Amino acid sequence: MPISRVGLVVHGGRPQAVAGAHTVRDWCARHGIGCVDIDVWQDGASRRHAREEMRAAGGPDLIVTLGGDGTFLRGARIAAQNDALVLGVDVGRVGFLTETPVTEVARALEAIHSGRSECEERMMLMMRSSRLLEIPLGMEETLCYGRGPALPPPQPRPEGDTSEEDSWGIRLDVNALNDVVVEKLARDRQVGVGVYIAGRLLASYSADGVILATPTGSTAYSFAAGGPVLSPRMRALVFTPVAPHMAFNRTVIANLDEPIAVRVLPHSGRAAVSVDGQSRGILEPGDWLGVAAAPRPLRLVRLTPADFYGRLRERMRLTDAPATAVDGEVAPVFRPSGPLPEELHGLRLPPAP
């Protein structure tokens, strides 16, 4: 698709990202395309809601992020507001979301502009809560230490019901690409929560926290907490408890149409809520929040078909396994050079070597 306007989200602390941003601006100038920096803050300055960021940027149809996965997530929260495409330019170390090398950014823009790129869809989460989330006065510095200023509290969706008495809760104007996390505030006190899947109580947990993730987020915090790796092409919700004090400590994977809700129990202390790693508010005992699949996925730009398992192998250093030397690079059964058998048609397979 022809690009009409580009929004830049740059990790200013990485020289490669800053240099790559100059390349993007130069390319846009040569093609007469508007380019604006978004989600930028200075020390001590406040940040804006994603909807405000998108409006101030003039509604770009392509968001280019230069950095690691954290920078990509910053761009994703803005792109979700108007279904913009996202191009993740990689200058990170262990990320799964950014795949385009910074040296290829100009070629990537040319490919997108001329319609020679591919679009990969990733499921996102939407949220409802029993009340509006906010970070109490005086707690921002503690919750956001080392991360810069906090994002403003999530607002109700413009078309949503803001009544706190509504049993369906308040639909918040926020989406998550990776995860929504509810976790303890005090080091010496776990959080007590009831977890509901598809409207039915699964269990009550006393834990350091609980993670509600997408398949994309299965390689993030959920993975570190012992959860499984899911293909990002899946459509499912992943629930993973963090250090629970109970025998049942396993991840539960819910279907796309099965929402997951968390209620803070009366005997629990307050719980912190973060969305894609950003602190967004506090839950008091009795409060609840729920997540479900968002109506629209995030649209990622790819120059070549995504190779998630190759990236998993690379990022997790699985190439060091002894079997690698024996097996080599050619997969058995599903990557021969001969004609594809009829019963295998429709499977997602790599191209023949």
Distance in angstroms (rounded) separating the CA atoms of residues 42 and 306: 35
Distance in angstroms (rounded) separating the CA atoms of residues 161 and 43: 35
Q: Which residue(s) pair with 238 in the sheet?
A: 213, 253
Catalytic, out of 39, 69, 173, 179: 69
**Axis-axis angle for helices 15-31, 105-113 (nearest 10):** 30
Helices (H), 81-187: 105-113, 140-143
* Contact indicator for 136, 26 with CB cutoff of 8 Å: no
What is the 8-class DSSP label of residue 208? S
* Contact indicator for 235, 250 with CB cutoff of 8 Å: no
Burial of 243 (0-12, 13-18, 19+ CB in 10 A): middle
Half-sphere exposure of 123 (CA within 13 A, CB side): 23
What is the 8-class DSSP label of residue 160? S
* Cα dihedral 293, 211, 97, 6 sign: positive
State the Cα angle at 131 between 128 and 133, rounded to 5°: 85
Distance in angstroms (rounded) separating the CA atoms of residues 82 and 3: 15
276 is catalytic: no
Q: Which tokens is 212 given?
A: 């509600």
Distance in angstroms (rounded) separating the CA atoms of residues 179 and 69: 13
Lookup result for tokens 């602390």: 13
Residues carrying an active site annotation: 69
